[in-house]
Chain A
């Protein structure tokens, strides 16, 4: 066991998978000589050479689409999009090629590749360095979308993504990179895609979230515990395809759900989870499903007071829980 940060978990996963399988290669902006703007790929150029750690030009269309082509001829690309805010040029390649390759070719061609996307707010990044936009990918069947919240999951989910046969959008939250450390096993491990984690058992309400918002939900749950409210906390880990069973089972038990999401509320992931809870386990509900989400404004504003207003936090989550408990 050794203390590892979230970003170290990512670096280790890349290193170990490149070591394990020579078909794995990396491509992205500033990932080679510079080791990545957040240093996620530090040391890998020296170890694996420029053919497997490729400093790309500023070409997000190519980073995504070139990786699709390389995956089709037998490689295992791991692309990096430096900031989720800059993924928009890649959308054509992600949506029309990567997500649909297996489907549109009748399963002849597949696209086993991973795009790592550095994302998220609460870092003072301003309007164009704080976005996630996971809802765009969540609404595209054919893609797998994951967002780890812990160093263990960061490492284990990335390994599963690289080893799998499906195209994966892997969101890594910048606020988590060096915030938490965790003891990780020395031996090889993976975290299954499609399975959520039950982080805390509870009986009064279910809190569902992922990424940084899992930590905010857990902070709220611990605070609520002191006030006699028992919250169950689920970290989704995989956003698409999501773990319906775990969420439904928990809601059946607690009869209340508060869904927490960093991105804007309208059309977000939690809108779908909420609708599905209503469709599938309505009879078990004792109160309307509540959502605590980012504001419905274009993105996270720069000035700290505005960023604070935008983002869900433990206090806002606790308030939402109390509201539905009193319902």
Chain B
């Protein structure tokens, strides 16, 4: 896998330098994200919720790694494949599930979209679908923190495809000028829906883009959650100290289609198999077992416990009602400007 020549991260050295508790915490969130994501795919096929579903299986380490250890007040500016950031930031499972099910109990009350997870209490912005949209907004949050002299940071997530958007460049340019407390996480999963990264940019490593904005760009193995966490944590503490932004490109891969209605027939089976051999969950498991931090028994117990949590949350959310249709009129404006209702 191409790793940036300038700042190669030795994942072996890094994994060992992390505290045991951190490594287990990362694994726990990685596993929970995987089990929940695969469950959503199954539920979608059973017709248990409407619309479609955007799986992040294969690239979970890129969201779990950076998010682990953040404060509640730190902001996550996500796109649509950041289920791992939500799980790791501590958004409760029933909130995440209610979002997919569009229930009244969902943080957005069922208004936005199945995978537009967000919860203000944990600092996750409910995203829009316009790619790189939240990169701009997240940079604005970082500007706000700097103006208010708060030491909170922002994590902005996006795919390599989003880096082709003009707004993305305006945001990073601004962050570079003002040394904003933000870390940009590029999940380069090689495919922007059906367009390969070679048709997205004339560079191999998307972290090269940071050079133009005067802050460091690092390319790392996005499938090793410990490497991702270590690299992102360093960038986050730097940002928190007022030492400016970092762009981290995580090389990774999404196993399934852009959404569940996409058969992903634009890529080869060989490519998929090659990446499945680099499964972030198995990589993490192997490292932990080699270090004798995890055993098969412990892993099985963890799977059982998480599945039970997921079962309970699903059962509870499926009993929740949709919001009344008139909810459509609410939250257009503040209460000062009620929306005119139709009489049919």
Q: Residues on A close to B: CB < 8 A?
A: 25, 51-52, 56-57, 59, 61-62, 65-75, 89, 92-93, 96-97, 100, 102-110, 141-142, 144, 164-166, 193-194, 241, 244
Contacts and interface: CB of A to CB of B under 8 A. Distances in A.
Nearest to A61: B167
B141 interface: yes
Contacts of B296: none
Given A105-B118, A108-B126, A72 B140 contact: yes
Contacts of B334: 102, 110, 164-166
A97 B128 contact: yes
B130 to A, nearest CB: 5
Contacts of B336: 164-166, 193-194
A108 B333 CA distance: 12
A25 B137 contact: no
Nearest to B182: A69
Contact of A92 (B152, B167, B340): B167
A59 B128 contact: no
Given A69-B136, A104-B116, A108-B119, A61 B130 contact: no
B143 A69 contact: yes
B144 A75 contact: yes
CB-CB nearest 7 A-B residue pairs: A69-B140, A65-B136, A66-B140, A70-B144, A73-B144, A165-B334, A69-B141
B177 A57 contact: yes
Contacts of B139: 62, 65-66, 69
A89 B143 CA distance: 20
A104 B136 contact: no
Given A69-B141, A92-B130, A109 B136 contact: no
A144 B126 contact: no
A193 B133 CA distance: 29
Nearest to B119: A108
A196 to B, nearest CB: 15
Interface residues of B, number: 48
Contacts of A51: 146-147
B147 A103 contact: no
B31 interface: no
B140 A67 contact: yes
Contacts of A103: 111, 331-332
Interface stretch (B38-46, B102-110, B193-201): B102-110
Nearest to B113: A104
B236 to A, nearest CB: 17
Given A57-B173, A97-B137, A108-B120, A69 B333 contact: no
Contacts of B141: 69-70, 72-73
Contacts of B173: 57, 59, 62
B77 to A, nearest CB: 8
B129 to A, nearest CB: 8
Given A92-B130, A165-B334, A69 B120 contact: no
B167 A93 contact: yes
A44 B306 CA distance: 56
Given A104-B108, A107-B331, A141-B332, A72 B125 contact: yes
Contacts of A105: 107-108, 112, 118, 120, 125-126
Given A69-B142, A164-B334, A106 B111 contact: yes
B145 interface: yes
Given A67-B140, A69-B141, A108-B119, A62 B167 contact: yes
Which of B106, B140, B331, B339 gathers most chain A CB within 10 Å? B140
Given A104-B128, A107-B330, A110-B334, A72 B174 contact: no
A244 B339 CA distance: 12
Interface of B: 75, 77, 106-109, 111-112, 116, 118-120, 125-126, 128-130, 133, 136-148, 152, 166-167, 170-171, 173-174, 177, 330-334, 336-337, 339-340
Given A62-B170, A65-B140, A69-B136, A142 B119 contact: no
Contacts of B118: 105, 108-109
A69 B137 contact: yes
A65 B130 CA distance: 12
Contacts of A194: 336-337
A56 B130 CA distance: 23
Given A62-B174, A73-B148, A104-B111, A109 B120 contact: yes
Contacts of A110: 334
Contacts of A102: 331-334
Contacts of A89: 166
B133 A69 contact: no
Contacts of B111: 103-104, 106
Given A61-B166, A96-B128, A105-B120, A66 B147 contact: no
Given A103-B332, A108-B120, A65 B133 contact: yes
22 contacts: A56-B174, A57-B173, A62-B173, A65-B139, A66-B171, A69-B77, A69-B136, A72-B125, A73-B75, A73-B144, A92-B133, A103-B332, A104-B116, A104-B126, A105-B112, A107-B330, A108-B118, A108-B126, A141-B339, A144-B337, A166-B336, A193-B336
Contacts of B330: 107
Contacts of A144: 333, 337
Nearest to A111: B137
A63 B333 CA distance: 22
A40 to B, nearest CB: 21
B33 to A, nearest CB: 22
B147 A69 contact: no
A100 B109 contact: no
B171 A65 contact: yes
Given A66-B140, A144-B337, 15 more contacts: A52-B147, A57-B170, A61-B136, A61-B170, A62-B140, A72-B125, A93-B137, A93-B167, A96-B129, A105-B120, A106-B126, A107-B109, A109-B118, A164-B334, A165-B336
